[in-house]
Structure 1
Amino acid sequence: MSMFRSPYPSLTLALSTVLVTGSGRGIGRATAELFARHGARVLVTDVDLDAAEEAAAAIGPDASAHRLDVRSRRAWDELAHEVGTVDILVNNAGIMPLAALLDETDQTIDATMDINVRGPMHGMRVFGPQMVERGYGHIVNVASLAGKIPIHGMVAYNASKFAAVGLSAAARLEFADHGVSVSTVLPSAVRTELSSGVQLGHGLPTVDAEDVARAILRTCTTRQAEIAVPRYLSPADVALAVTPERLTSIFRTVIGARRALTGVDHGVRGAYDQRVARIANTES
């Protein structure tokens, strides 16, 4: 047996049940649609049941809608009891508040950490045991390049995504012994509602939700530990670490790196901000 052979049993998408969190819109919906096109049975979950039901109806008979507040361990347990076996878990649900650290509310910080970090942790702890028992399964945690690179105006989000990257890397070590793979997907700025009101481009690589969905799907074959979207940004954190701070400061000034702090159009972003505030002020 080759030492380079994958330790993970291969996945057959047409026979797989795939659970995607936060799949009522954005990256999650694009991911659910893509898996369904490859023959998988897709569980569309979202804290917004109306959005989940709309997405599932658009996908077709291979999709079902379920309400899930990823902050709640009880909600995860109830969902597991309802849906049974899951072969591929995509922890995608997340929020991205934009504000200076000193201006952010406690409720929003708590919600950011609970959704972006505890959510994936709950998912792995609830569905991981059944995968371990079968010796088969795949988990994808959608983090962000903001989990490698600090950005003005995203302190809480940065903290949550740095944590999600570490969570995934450590969990991968533990699950690997049981034939279960954990991959982390690290998108750059994505053209979804999360980035609404922020000027994209101008030195900030930007991708579409469908690009991220394809990367998520690709991990089912490669079982790669981490994949950046776009892929050429994979070494960005290493480059940042070895570059003198004075040079990185100049580069950040050139590309307008403070745009998420000082250049946000809150009129355009208003609906998203209101939804985040509503979630943050609602108990899980």
Structure 2
Amino acid sequence: MGRRSLSGKVVVITGGARGIGAATARALASRGAVVVIGDLDVEPAKETAAAVGGSGHALDVTDHAAFSAFLGSLGQIDVLINNAGIMPLAAVTEEPPETTARQLEINLHAVIHGTRAAVGIMRRQGSGHIVNVASAAGKFGFPNGSTYCATKFGVVGFSEAVRAELRGSGIEVSCVMPGMVRTELISGLSEIGFLRPVTAEAVALGIVRALEKPRFDVFVPRRLNALTRFQRLVPRRLSEWAMRVVGADTALFHGASSAARAAYETRVHG
């Protein structure tokens, strides 16, 4: 099967005002897609969308009625990219319940709801593609980010199940699992060897390739795929030792108390 053209395809990106979402908007627009961005920060969303000839809209993905209405107002949706997400960091005993709830609502429940709403539209069309942005934290547990990991594990499992449900329907499902990405989510965190961050543009390219030639697993960088396979094949003790060797056990600790991190944490707590 050759690559599918994205020209003229209507692509909705949640949390698309900045970071991975914005990079993906640019990459898709360059291939002729019609980009629609929904973001809680409406002005940056409009600016990002305008720069690629698309449209930007205010969208709170935790407001399910508004999310459904937003998708329904578009008429046609060829691709939904559930990208909105936050990553507050804290030890499990220090994380406020409100922060736990907010991560579950944005990172997981909104993905479930957005997928459900979009599938209803895509079934009527007879085609479509759902892209759920998870994380390497959906495959590995990282200390100091337990709730974040829980939400991303949830996104991976949810996406796998929905893909099985939709087999033969004409609707594709992809799950994107980046490692550390140079966006504000890792503000203040130190770069660590094997987990050296990739760019948002690299993740965007992975998404574009999965849309052009559909596949479920999208690892960025690709070496994460080998690491997840290694983890499944070896005893847990050896897997955990390997994670310590590459520095994964401290990846979300170094710089987590910095001033740069504090500014991000303040913003995402709403």
TM-score (norm 1): 0.89
Q: Which moved more, 1:144-153 or 1:10-19?
A: 10-19
Question: 2:153 aligned with 1:162, yes or no?
Answer: yes
1:42 aligned onto 2:38: no
Q: Give the deviation of 1:157 after TM superposition.
A: 0.6
Residue among 77, 102, 107 paired with 1:86: 77
Distance 1:125 1:11 in 2: 24
**For 1:189, which of 176, 180, 185 is the aligned residue?**
180
- Whichever residue aligns with residue 22 of structure 1, its letter is G
Distance of 1:177 and 1:75 partners within structure 2: 30
How far residue 265 of structure 1 moved from its aligned partner, in angstroms, is: 4.1
Match for 2:173: what amino acid? V
1:21 aligns to 2:14 (yes or no): yes
8 Å Cα contact 1:132-1:175 kept in structure 2:
no
Residue in 2 that maps onto 1:214: 205
Query: Where does the alignment leave 5 or more consecutive residues of structure 2 unmatched?
Result: none
Shift of 1:137: 0.7
Q: What secondary structure sits across from 1:186 in the alignment? A: strand
Give the one of 251, 261, 269 matched to 1:269.
261
Give the conservation status (yes or no) of the 8 Å contact 1:53–1:65: yes
Residue matched to 2:106: 115
2:252 to 251, 260, 265: 260
Shift of 1:242: 3.4
Shift of 1:270: 2.0
Identical aligned residues as a percent: 39
Contact conserved, 2:134 with 2:178, CA < 8 A, in 1? Answer: yes
In the superposition, the TM-score normalised over structure 2's length comes to: 0.93
**RMSD of aligned alpha carbons:** 1.8
Structure 1 unmatched ranges of 5 or more: 279-284
Q: C-alpha displacement at 1:245, in angstroms?
A: 4.2
Separation in structure 1 between the aligned mates of residue 174 and residue 241 of structure 2, nearest angstrom: 33
Name the SS of the counterpart of 1:215 in structure 2.
helix
Question: How many residues are matched?
Answer: 269
Distance across 1 between alignment mates of 2:106 and 2:240: 31
Match 1:178 to one of 145, 157, 169? 169
SS of equivalent to 2:253:
helix
Q: Who is 1:242 aligned against?
A: 233
- Mapped to 2, the partners of 1:136 and 1:245 lie a distance apart of 40
- Residues of 2 paired with 1:66 and 1:274: CA distance? 23
- 1:13 and 1:40 in contact (8 A); partners too: yes
